[in-house]
Amino acid sequence: MTDKTATRVALVTGASGGIGSSVVRRLAADGYALAVHYAGNKARAQDLVEEIAAGGGSAVEVGGDVADDAAMRALFGQVEQEFGRIDVVVNTAGIMPLGPIADYDLRTFDHVMRTNVRGTFVVSQLAARHVRPGGAIINFSTTVTRTLFPSYGPYVASKAAVEGMTMVLARELRGRDITVNTVAPGPTATALFLDGKDEQTVERLAHAAPLERLGRPEDIAETVAHLAGPARWINGQTIFVNGGLA
């Protein structure tokens, strides 16, 4: 078990995903103990835990639906029992079913809102109660809240809500020495982003930014690591990590 007085501990939700797993690896490289959250892919979370352990780090997998408040309360308790503290919560968990607003299935809409909005709210609420002074809460939005691509309407609606609640929470935690920010990636080469897109669409999006490439999960993880640790004067912000995409 990790030294409960010295090692900073981070909980990463959605850690079995492309960005989430890169965040886990990046924070592990900085010496964090990691709680690696999964919703459905336990095997991938276990592989990530084993990878960190093989590199000399400390990690444990934790599962549950981020929108289930009882499950998340138990999860936060499990992390504190294992490591003795929580310093950073990175909430990457989310879903992105696309479709035009005029034809969008309302059951799918409700699922997006439950996962992306309620899930972020539940995790943020618990993070506000458990994260120690000197810590950080980092939620995830998307650059599409600014680029407003067609077919992203429900996803944009959910992530605009995340940006708003995150900025409010930063102000509600006045005096606690806890930073609260949102990271908003641009097009990033993950399974979530690439799913359902043809090669022409991917190529077009890759050249949309001035740097003329898709983001890599490692690009996003680098920003998260900065916000999790040294960036103590960035608070209540949405950080666009998109290679200059307007």
Q: Kindly list the catalytic residues.
A: 155
Phi and psi for 137 in degrees, rounded to 5? Answer: -120, 125
Residue with tokens 């359902």: 196
The first and second tokens of residue 169, run together, are 């929470």
User: Under a CB-based contact definition with an 8 Å cutoff, are residues 137 and 127 in contact?
Assistant: yes
User: How far is Cα 49 from Cα 43, in angstroms, rounded to an integer?
Assistant: 10
Nearest residue to 146 (alpha-carbon basis) of 162, 160, 132, 133: 160
C-alpha angle 69-70-76 in degrees, rounded to nearest 5: 85
